[in-house]
Amino acid sequence: QQMNPPVMPSILLVISTVHAFQYTELVQYVDSHQEEYVEALRDWVAIESDSSNVLKRPDLHRMMEKAAQKLRLMGGTVELVDIGEQELPDGQMLALPKVVTAQFGNDSNKHTVCVYGHVDVQPAKKEDGWATDPYNLTDINGNLYGRGASDNKAPVLAWIHAVEAYQALNMELPVNVKFVIEGMEETGSNGLDAMILAQRDTFFSDVDYIIISDCGWLSTRPALTYGTRGNCYFFAEVEGPKQDLHSGVYGGTVIEPMTDLIGILDTLISPSGKILIPGIRDAVAPLSDEEWRMYQDIQFDIDHYKSKIGVNQLMYSNKVDVLAHMWRYPTVTIHGIEGAFSDPGTKTVIPAKVTAKFSIRQVPNMDPAMVKKQVTDYLHSVFAKRKSPNTLKVTMVIGAKPWLADTQHPLYEAGKAAVKRVFDTDSDLIREGGTIPIARTFQDVTGKSIIMMPIGGFDDGLHSQNEKMSRYNYIEGTKLFIAYLNEVSQIRKTTV
């Protein structure tokens, strides 16, 4: 004889059905407002908010005001925070674009999430090789082409539209949502660190979690990002004669700065990619068995990766090695030499002073101050062995730290659940090879937990010609953010 089923499961069933029903309504709302979302992106892409071009600064101010106005119209508590001025190389002072902060909801019984994004872009011109006008959003086969579409205007809009969807259906937001939107990310986020520090005990005081959506998937599978590399950027300057010399007249009598510089640069890294600077590799966190297994499961096609960048051979031949060296091992890259002759044609010059620019992508547990000392000491010791009369000066101009999150944190569990709900697949847990310094700043200053939740595609062409955001990622990404807010609301308050 069958027992009557206990009452409890059916109550749970009712609760989850209510959630599912609301999610369905929200999804239908997003689907029916797709064109509106594309038009909003078109409006934003049309503004040439290039933070590196001082002549475009009025456009950048207009972009910040436009973002603020959109949030105001939704009823948010919005502020345009003045973060001061920047000094240009000629000594002139220029106002920095204000940082937009906004708040929706202040229920102390709910979690508060803070979404970070930026609305400035890299430079772009049609003649750089774009197939379309970079500032006129163009839809080709479901891809929305335009500068800043993926990095970072569509993700910022998707977050705004996620909040807007709840509002439009008169549904209570499951968590309080705050926004921090800046306009100088592409040139180093001038003024933002100071603002975060200044508002640590005010705007950020009640924030539980910080979400950054300024990155992309690795493949066609949705991803959650839990780490980035840092960046130590160096100048190595070798100076010799008081002026440039003619190689016909003086070649063979002077010890040339360029020869010295090339000689010491060649001692930084071996042909197989091994960093030769003593001590650098000793500080690198060892690859754990669990990490190795995670890399095994990630969807990544080496052949596709090679064809995308146009090479027939990589430094490593298997997936785990390639991913590990892209994300969690340091690397040395030589970027260029200032003062060298680089124009077309021939010029028989001995440059009097040349400056090499190179960087080391940093990983846990490397410390920028230690890297600076190791590189400086090493290059001076190598240079001394050359017994050259020229002078060497080494300076570190950037010392950005890496960032790493705990993938076991409930924020990531919530992320996996949201991805599963929207895309009906498991998410890849990935790291970024590049540097997003603001993540580490948020972590160090606020002490809050951070997740990076990308919606950009692996082939969006950030910083490149023909940057795009696919309509699919933009719209489904909005649903992902809607689902994620709901998942985060269910993290138990006791969880730190």
Active site residue 120: yes
**For 230, phi and psi rounded to 5 degrees?**
-90, -170
Q: Which DSSP helix (H) or strand (E) runs through 220?
A: none
CB-CB contact of 368 with 280 (8 Å): no
The whole-angstrom separation of Cα 81 and Cα 179 is: 12
CB-CB contact of 54 with 88 (8 Å): yes
CB-CB contact of 212 with 436 (8 Å): yes
Per DSSP, 240 falls in state -
Per DSSP, 403 falls in state E
In sequence order, what are the beta bridge partners of 145?
A: 138, 468
- The active-site residue out of 50, 185, 237, 256 is 185
The whole-angstrom separation of Cα 8 and Cα 6 is: 6
Tokens of 348: 């028989």
Q: How far is CA 291 from CA 198, 285, 318, 357, 401, in A?
A: 37, 11, 15, 33, 21
Task: Work out the number of other CB atoms within 10 angstroms of the CB of residue 69.
Answer: 12
In sequence order, what are the beta bridge partners of 331?
A: 361
Q: Which DSSP helix (H) or strand (E) runs through 43?
A: helix 34-45
DSSP states of 124-190 as a string?
A: --GGGT-SS-TTS-EEETTEEE-TTIIIIIHHHHHHHHHHHHHHHTTPPPSSEEEEEEES-GGGT-T
Cis (ω within 30 of 0) for the bond into 4? no
> What is the bridge-based pairing of β-strands 143-145 and 468-470?
antiparallel
In sequence order, what are the beta bridge partners of 103?
A: 77, 178
The whole-angstrom separation of Cα 298 and Cα 450 is: 21
The whole-angstrom separation of Cα 133 and Cα 126 is: 6
- The active-site residue out of 48, 59, 120, 164 is 120
Known catalytic residues are: 120, 185
